[in-house]
Amino acid sequence: MKFKYCLLGVFCIFLSCDKNRIYKEFDSNLENNRWNSNDSKEFSFVMKKEEIVDVILHLGHIYDFQFASIPLQMAITYPDGHTELIPINLKLKNEEGKDLADCSGDICDLYYTVKNKVPLEKGNYLIVITNKFNGAYLPNILGVGIQINK
């Protein structure tokens, strides 16, 4: 009987860890770890009520990425239909050439806050991340994602 209560307690702890997360999605559908320049990643979500949130970009890449930064663009389409374009020069390495991402073995996850403490009204949103790299593809990318946190 005590074991069942312990399991229930652990389950509740895991559920409560994400109580500030409104939305999270990660697209790892990349052939040969290449993010093609013509392959924009789309993320749609619904705000059930107005909230003050952080909009966070999640980039997964291979350890010791060959570029210090990469050019991206985020387009946020709001419920009223207008679209905000946000250019991003995503830094992957510091001045000493060390990865800024959290890495475990060869897999690195970089989280970059694009918008901090912004009000999002109730309604449907679309976020599109576009690779603006000057080439046919950006190599050694494991995936691209978005998080919306309270």
139 in any annotated domain: yes
Residue 80 inside a domain? The answer is yes
Question: Is residue 7 in some structural domain?
Answer: no
Which ranges constitute the DSSP H helices of the chain? 2-16
10 within some domain? no
Per run of 10 residues, the mean pLDDT along the chain (length 150 residues) is: 44 58 96 94 97 98 93 98 98 91 94 97 98 94 97
pTM: 0.85
8 A C-beta contact, residue 20 and residue 149: yes
Residue 107 within any structural domain of the chain: yes
Question: How many structural domains is the chain composed of?
Answer: 1
9 inside domain? no
Q: What is the CATH number of the domain that holds 78?
A: 2.60.120.260
Q: Does residue 90 belong to any structural domain of this protein? A: yes
Q: Confirm whether 61 is domain-assigned.
A: yes
Domain that holds residue 48: 20-149
